[in-house]
Structure 1
């Protein structure tokens, strides 16, 4: 989530969770891919050997809500960084509205819910046009609170977040996040739950060794299936990415949403592949994977991360809104608002069903089988995106450096 503070602090929270899928009608292509990749590289540079999970679309929506209230340099920096500068002013709001509406179509085969809310300080007058546009483009609910009652406000907002994320994100904020000078909190919650089009059978899940990039190994639950997926082998033409690497795209039910997994060779650390990831390459992968039968070994994993985005967004050129020079005067007549914090918390769980799924029992050691088809063995770190295949919207982006670890003491563990 994004948290915004102000001279009269303002909090913007953007939360995203996944689970299973969505459908897009005739809507424009998402133009924020470059912004998504730049965000990833900033997080990767600071992430060491940690897992990464964040939602580019959720960040874009949260910044869109801020942009509605921004003017001058504050407005232009957001447009430039997110990738809206080539659009006529204001068109980006319709774009975000259309993208999110398409994802939440009632006819979809999965669940994606966007929920936006404004928590306003009692007694402060906000621009009626700003409130109108927030409802129009982001369907934002509006509630008034007394931020000086910081504990009560934290509980109220945390309950709101929990209710809109199937209780996956809890205790997002604390009383310390608010004070008597807080004026506005913007909350954006996104929940995604989808089932694989081709589900893994829980009885095929086995314990398996996962080789981390630091040379150590952990035991994890490895899912297995042989099925029809979109698959391709790519090379950057040099040894930068270790030569050839694999791309596997696994659709969720309905096929509008998918998870794309990018896997370097066994002996190549993910850090060698990450520098080549660029927005045009995401498009190249999507356009060139071909449907074929593939043997897939994929670990069950759960990734949760709370990211302080303030420094990251400043590195990407969004600086003005975090200073006393911020111009958020389209929100209220005064010019004392600025953004003090920017935070996102995201959660992703991948199981046999897709997300939040079944648990296998009677685990035994799994070994590699005779290769009859292309084989994707994700027993070492990999990069992933969950995206809408029609619009290119990236719901999640991240990497798995360490999957769900099974300890030898677990009752269903058989050591290798």
Structure 2
């Protein structure tokens, strides 16, 4: 899975105001399947508070995004958005800072602990593992000769491990190529040409980029020989998709209040897992989405139990690119985008900058592959007498999220509503 978020700043014409900065996020995820027990790890109080704040923002952003993208697939990394905007928040002051804190839910923890908590959370999430790859990279591309405050640059480096690179002219094609090449490198070439021609111009002063890359196998892989074409039912049509099959014990819950099933499918290495939320009814996704809350996430987590199930999950991949600028403004972060009101004096010492664009690009691929050796050494779940055998077919719109099992931080969030044509099985293949 790959996510890239870019924030672009430009300068405001009022003090030579009019120049902007830009934020970009890229997310790439390649997934497979497993089952395991989460490792015991000590998570600091402020780190846990930040994880919950990010989850609250994730649900708020998801709600706002689905309102502007009805009946469409969605996929994004709320953590990538929070990280890039967290770097931006370091330079925000006054009302701009207050609005950002409200929208991003940073106000759920004391500001003095905010950025240090990002540092601690990132250190925990992106620690080296030989079971999976999860890495994040941050970088600032700034206009050569611009007077960025050293304190701002030092803080982005300290709290977000972000490097700074001077750009002579953002309007030059080689500037766009340089940034796009950096993104491609950090995402294993899964995100190409992130910045289209025309996004960067002579008014651009600063580009903040966050890239997250995640690749993992399942502990217990799906058998490719069991994958067969199956019907996926949408609002007004059907499509044939390759449906993966698994039979056995899985952590799940049957949520009768929201009328959905929730399956947890952990990844190799024990730390990360996918929650797949399947509405009982073909048209039940909206009902689940409207009730999403922190309390619901907590309930699902606490109510998961080992059950015996047969389940069919489509093999799929999604790629999503969209601007978050209007969405963030509608959520209450308006001043940061207003050249007459934005206050990012913590970056330059004056109010010459505003955000001109926030671009997010994400890619996810889910397939059968897993690590059989890891499955053999995986910790087994406690067995109990099972009186029911579930048959779950993910053959209609469903929701999914990828989370860290230690902090419960939601790394990625999405839904499959309208399978892209390039993943469908065509009639001649049936």
**TM-score by structure 1 length?**
0.89
**Aligned equivalents of 1:163, 1:354: Cα separation in 2:** 25
The one of 152, 156, 166 aligned to 1:144:
166
Deviation at residue 255 of structure 1 after TM alignment: 2.2
Q: Does 1:211 align with 2:233?
A: yes
**Aligned equivalents of 2:399, 2:292: Cα separation in 1:** 10
- Larger relative helix fraction: 2
SS in structure 2 of the partner of residue 26 of structure 1: coil
SS in structure 1 of the partner of residue 140 of structure 2: strand
SS in structure 2 of the partner of residue 120 of structure 1: strand
Contact 1:147 1:183 in 2 (8 A): no
Q: Does 1:250 align with 2:265?
A: yes
Q: Does 1:335 align with 2:351?
A: yes
2:377 maps to none
Contact 1:19 1:354 in 2 (8 A): no
Compared CA separation, residues 395 and 148, structure 1 to 2 (3 A): closer
- Larger relative strand fraction: 2
Deviation at residue 10 of structure 1 after TM alignment: 1.1
1:360 maps to none
Q: Deviations over 1:231-277 (max 9, x none)?
A: 110122xxxx5xx3111110001221111011112443422322111
Q: Does 1:235 align with 2:246?
A: no
1:89 maps to 111
Give matches, 1:276-355, under 5 Å: 276-324=291-339, 325-353=341-369
Moved more, 43-52 or 184-193: 43-52
Tell me the C-alpha RMSD between the 2 structures.
Answer: 1.9
Q: Does 1:14 align with 2:33?
A: no
Compared CA separation, residues 87 and 48, structure 1 to 2 (3 A): closer
Contact 1:2 1:309 in 2 (8 A): no
Contact 2:20 2:354 in 1 (8 A): yes
Deviation at residue 2 of structure 1 after TM alignment: 3.1
Query: What is the count of residue pairs matched by the alignment?
Result: 389
Q: Which runs of 5+ in 2 are unaligned?
A: 12-18, 33-37, 372-386
**Aligned equivalents of 2:82, 2:170: Cα separation in 1:** 29
Q: Does 1:388 align with 2:407?
A: no
**TM-score by structure 2 length?**
0.86
Q: Which runs of 5+ in 1 are unaligned?
A: 356-370
Compared CA separation, residues 205 and 372, structure 1 to 2 (3 A): farther
**Aligned equivalents of 1:126, 1:46: Cα separation in 2:** 35
**Aligned equivalents of 2:294, 2:322: Cα separation in 1:** 22
